[in-house]
């Protein structure tokens, strides 16, 4: 048994808490919301996971020091835009023997930094890793078989996380490619958003296959330029996560693309989805990174123009289909 602190009580944080508590660990969850805290503690329910039940042993608190104190592992599970501000709230309570595992997916928009870089800036020298893989919270919370990857340069971090997570419904893999694992997770949300636009336009399986395949090419191009290993993008945290996020009704990023494709504004889409949409938050970042690293990313460019320059989604598709022809 390990003591686990989970920073964030949204769908993914709650799903991880449910799973790890049921896997014989002592779990405390931090929430900024008293309403969410009370629902978890008193009703044993998560407002984002209607089909899941919170285990009796799981406790939620709005006191971040109380949650961090004595934990063996800290799982950070907030939206990417709140990663730095949340770390600032708890970094003074972190001891050298505690591990921080980043479970959020995305970038810091203001700096274009990946989230592992934010950890290193805020808590230099800490033991940390990245947890990722094709995993909808809705399914993990009800014990549907899932495979995840923990990436770290620290062997003790990898071994400990694998030992805590492994079960007959959770298969664990390890990687030393922190940057590749993290970038695959962050960038696939953008392609999933595009998949939603394709659905709204009534495009078929042929279009979907082309989008996913060429989208993966764009992800790997930028990912390698930023220091990731190419093979990582064709594993669970690249191709695997791309498949599950593009093709599933659980995907809020795909849902957001559908709504934008139907003509809703960004603000209307955010209100309709009701949860953080990492793709919308990170499309601008991916566009800027493609320019910074001089990487050709036509799909990212197209969706950027749809969101921020008023390009009609159908014209974006037409533009992608009529680009100069070349060898694959």
Task: Name the residues annotated as catalytic.
Answer: 188
Measure Cα distances from 63 to 28, 29, 67, 122, 212 in Å.
Answer: 11, 10, 7, 20, 42
Q: Are 115 and 183 in contact (CB under 8 A)?
A: no
Rounded-to-integer distance, Cα 151 and Cα 232, Å = 11
| Cα separation, 186 vs 281, whole angstroms | 10
Enclosing H/E stretch for 73: strand 73-76
Could you identify the residue written with the tokens 């990417």? 80
Element containing residue 192 per DSSP (H, E): helix 178-200
Here the tokens at position 151 are 């990436």
Helix or strand (DSSP H, E) at 76 = strand 73-76
287 to 102, 131, 283, 290, 305: CA distances (angstroms): 23, 25, 6, 5, 10
- CA distance readout (Å), 114 to 4, 123, 222, 306, 320: 24, 15, 13, 24, 28
């Amino acid at each position: 048994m390990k003591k686990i602190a989970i920073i964030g009580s949204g769908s993914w944080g709650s799903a991880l808490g449910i799973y790890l508590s049921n896997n014989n660990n002592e779990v405390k969850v931090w929430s900024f919301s008293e309403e969410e805290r009370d629902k978890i503690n008193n009703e044993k329910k998560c407002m984002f996971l209607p089909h899941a039940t919170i285990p009796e042993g799981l406790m939620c608190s709005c006191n971040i020091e109380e949650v961090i104190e004595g934990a063996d592992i800290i799982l950070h599970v907030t939206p990417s835009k709140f990663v730095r501000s949340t770390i600032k709230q708890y970094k003074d309570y972190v001891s050298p023997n505690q591990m921080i595992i980043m479970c959020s997916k995305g970038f810091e928009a203001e700096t274009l930094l990946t989230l592992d870089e934010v950890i290193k800036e805020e808590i230099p020298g800490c033991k940390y890793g990245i947890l990722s893989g094709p995993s909808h919270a809705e399914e993990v919370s009800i014990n549907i078989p899932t495979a995840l990857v923990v990436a770290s340069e620290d062997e003790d971090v990898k071994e400990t996380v694998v030992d805590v997570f492994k079960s007959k419904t959770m298969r664990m893999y390890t990687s030393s490619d922190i940057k590749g694992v993290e970038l695959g997770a962050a960038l696939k949300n953008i392609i999933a958003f595009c998949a939603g636009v394709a659905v709204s336009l009534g495009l078929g399986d042929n279009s979907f296959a082309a989008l996913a395949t060429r989208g993966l090419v764009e992800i790997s191009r930028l990912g390698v330029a930023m220091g990731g290993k190419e093979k990582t993008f064709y594993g669970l945290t690249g191709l695997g996560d791309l498949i599950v996020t593009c093709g599933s009704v659980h995907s809020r990023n795909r849902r957001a693309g559908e709504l934008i494709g139907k003509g809703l504004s960004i603000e209307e889409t955010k209100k309709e989805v009701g949860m953080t949409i990492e793709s919308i938050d990170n499309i601008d970042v991916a566009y800027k990174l493609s320019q910074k690293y001089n990487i050709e990313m036509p799909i990212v460019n197209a969706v950027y123009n749809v969101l921020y320059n008023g390009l009609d989604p159908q014209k974006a598709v037409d533009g992608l289909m009529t680009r100069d022809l070349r060898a694959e």
